């Protein structure tokens, strides 16, 4: 009889524990906890897997994406044009592009149906990169030279405008196709004189080529231009605005952490992507910090200013780079972007 009583008590306790566990699981689901179902999201980096894009990996490994309700797959992007096409085509949900490149794509009818929802860098980092010994030290030296970049890169697509403003003939410069992750090796081999690159790529260029890098930043002749911005499709922005805000906040949290902890961020990137030099990746992040923060102290990370975007459009229109006029609202969803 005692044995039967103990058996019934044990069974009753097990049932009670199971009910408590089930209730706890439901609570976790409602709060986005461990037991919740995460939304699948595909994210593209801006250009390969370099230190400048490590903040996405940080957001994933630190649990920022998970806390926001996302299971994120990160894939290497191949420049502005390719990132836009992939997102608009529905193969990815989010990714960073150079805003100026996006304006060119939209204004010249090469792309549509995307919107920017946050700034990654407050100033453009686009540049022509080379190394000592190529004879390139000024923009004029680019004439007669061979440069490599991906077809959709903002550096390449913006080059005619840069050349015009720098006083050189862009028709005297030859461009050949390359891939994001192999461009620096192409430069190291000597098969090209220079490559399209962001200024923060200097440490990685020097690590790969074993030579001192020489950079010609576009910002020297083109002021007021933003750098990378986070984009999504117009469909996602329209149908899932709260989801966009949650994802943006988690990504920017990863960006802030990466800038504050560049060495750790570089090591996280190296664990998740092949052929990453952690020292060079950390140095890239340290250089990028000055481009991410607004000149206005206290301004929230990721903000976009309509007036500045209008100035960028005016610069491109004045240089004859846009076939049609644009307004800031056509390329940026200010209702979703962080408020200044």
Contact between residue 313 and residue 328 where contact means Cβ atoms under 8 Å apart: yes
Reduced to 3 DSSP states, what percent helix, strand and coil does the chain have, rounded to the nearest 5? 50, 15, 35
Question: 318: which residues sit within 8 A by CB, 6+ positions away?
Answer: none
Mean pLDDT taken over the chain = 88
Question: 154: which residues sit within 8 A by CB, 6+ positions away?
Answer: 79, 80, 97, 98, 100, 101, 104, 126
- What domains appear along the chain, each with residue ranges and CATH number? 39-123+225-331 (3.40.190.10), 126-220 (3.40.190.10)
Contact between residue 278 and residue 266 where contact means Cβ atoms under 8 Å apart: yes
Q: Tens digit of pLDDT for each residue in 217-244?
A: 999 988 779 999 999 999 999 999 999 9
Q: Tens digit of pLDDT for each residue in 47-56?
A: 999 999 999 9
H helices of 211-322, in order, are: 234-239, 241-260, 262-272, 278-292, 306-318
For residues 150 and 77, give the distance between their C-alpha atoms in angstroms, rounded to a whole number.
11
pLDDT (tens place) for every residue of the chain, 340 residues total: 444 444 434 444 444 434 334 444 333 333 344 446 999 999 999 999 999 999 999 999 999 999 999 999 999 999 999 999 999 999 999 999 999 999 999 999 999 999 999 999 999 999 999 999 999 999 999 999 999 999 878 899 899 999 999 999 999 999 999 998 899 999 999 999 999 999 999 999 999 999 999 999 999 988 779 999 999 999 999 999 999 999 999 999 999 999 999 999 999 999 999 889 999 999 999 999 989 986 555 568 999 999 999 999 998 998 888 999 899 999 999 999 998 6
For residues 24 and 35, give the distance between their C-alpha atoms in angstroms, rounded to a whole number.
9
For residues 304 and 301, give the distance between their C-alpha atoms in angstroms, rounded to a whole number.
9
Q: Which two tokens stand for residue 197?
A: 């690159």
Contact between residue 32 and residue 67 where contact means Cβ atoms under 8 Å apart: yes
């Amino acid at each position: 009889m005692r044995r039967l009583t103990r058996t019934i008590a044990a069974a009753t306790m097990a049932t009670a524990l199971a009910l408590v566990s089930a209730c706890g699981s439901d609570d976790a689901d409602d709060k986005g906890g461990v037991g919740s179902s995460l939304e699948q999201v595909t994210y593209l980096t801006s250009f390969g897997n370099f230190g400048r894009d490590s903040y996405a990996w940080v957001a994933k490994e630190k649990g920022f994406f998970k806390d926001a309700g996302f299971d994120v797959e990160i894939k290497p992007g191949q420049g502005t044009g390719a990132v836009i096409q992939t997102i608009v085509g529905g193969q990815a949900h989010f990714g960073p592009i150079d805003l100026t490149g996006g304006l060119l794509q939209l204004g010249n009818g090469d792309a549509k149906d995307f919107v920017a929802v946050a700034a990654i860098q407050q100033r453009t980092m686009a540049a022509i990169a080379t190394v000592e010994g190529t004879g390139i030290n000024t923009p004029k030296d680019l004439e007669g030279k061979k440069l490599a970049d991906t077809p959709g890169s903002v550096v390449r697509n913006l080059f005619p405008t840069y050349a015009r403003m720098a006083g050189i003939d862009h028709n005297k410069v030859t461009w050949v196709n390359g891939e994001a992750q192999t461009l620096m090796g192409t430069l190291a081999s000597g098969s090209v004189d220079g490559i399209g690159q962001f200024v923060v790529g200097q440490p990685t260029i020097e690590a790969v080529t074993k030579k001192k890098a020489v950079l010609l930043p576009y910002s020297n002749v083109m002021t007021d231009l933003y750098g990378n911005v986070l984009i999504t499709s117009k469909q996602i922005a329209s149908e899932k605005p709260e989801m966009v805000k949650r994802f943006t906040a988690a990504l920017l949290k990863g960006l802030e952490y990466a800038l504050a902890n560049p060495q750790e961020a570089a090591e996280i990137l190296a664990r998740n992507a092949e052929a990453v030099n952690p020292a060079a990746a950390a140095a890239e992040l340290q250089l990028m910090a000055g481009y991410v923060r607004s000149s206005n102290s206290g301004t929230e990370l990721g903000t976009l200013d309509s007036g500045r975007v209008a100035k960028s459009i005016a610069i491109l229109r004045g240089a004859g780079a846009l076939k049609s006029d644009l307004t800031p609202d056509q390329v940026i969803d200010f209702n979703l972007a962080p408020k200044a």
